[in-house]
Amino acid sequence: MQIRNLGGSGLRVSAVGLGCNNFGQRTDLETSRKVIHKAIDLGVTLFDTADIYAGMGGSETVLGQVLGDRRKDIVLATKYSKPMSSDGTRQGASRRYILSAVEASLTRLKTDYIDLYQQHDYDPLTPIEETLRALDDLIRQGKVRYIGNSNFPAWRIAEAEHVSRAMNLSHFVSCQDEYSLVVRDIEKDLLPCAQEYKLGLLPFFPLASGLLTGKYKRGEAAPDDTRGNWDGPTRQAAPAKARRCAPTVRRSSVTRSCHGCSATSRGVT
């Protein structure tokens, strides 16, 4: 397994990370246990979850139950800011909420620290100065090692970088955004911004929810238990952009076959 620095930071992570959004949801505890231990055995060190995954806290709870002594062998990343209550009182990036959210995540994960704490979405109601000061305090307290963002527009990333420099605060070392051969919107401005400020990119849906795996064939119905079954029970799990691009992806299978490479390898790359 290749190990890389995350952006311009000293944090070393495996080139392939494990998304943990299905733990405690589509994947039960024992199946999750097998997946987690197998991933570690194969050299995967980056495990990415969020407080909202699996019914608000379910994924973090599974990781906390399974990792045990192997917690020290991984880079544990989680996120905050998405709604964790139906009344809108537990969400966002205010100092008050961040200090509460991190304690809840630490408890569920059964750990004393989070390696990478990511803001799941930008908060238009909270000044970025307040957010960065709270995150910097968590780093100084040893509860968080590094901070990142997710789903930020490029100008928000630039704003956060300049504020952190002006106030001498810890800055974001990563951004997590959708990116694949199918969905490439971030190439326009977010990727150049991330490169300028040395943020590492953690792409989600790199295989376009399975469209780039080669499991879907032109003229054939998608398997019932896949996200590509647009009329099946998992339809809502498939990104709308990927659905619109499905015909194009199927046509590209001819190109992949001619070059002798699998859809999966292209998707991961």
What is the set of active-site residues? 53
- Decide the pairing of beta strands 200-204 and 46-48: unpaired
Contacts of 23 (CB under 8 A, 6+ apart): 32, 35, 36, 49, 53, 54, 58, 59, 62, 63
Alpha carbon 17 to chain centroid distance? Answer: 9
CA distance 207 to 203: 10
Q: Are 264 and 212 in contact (CB under 8 A)?
A: yes
The H or E element containing residue 130 is: helix 128-141
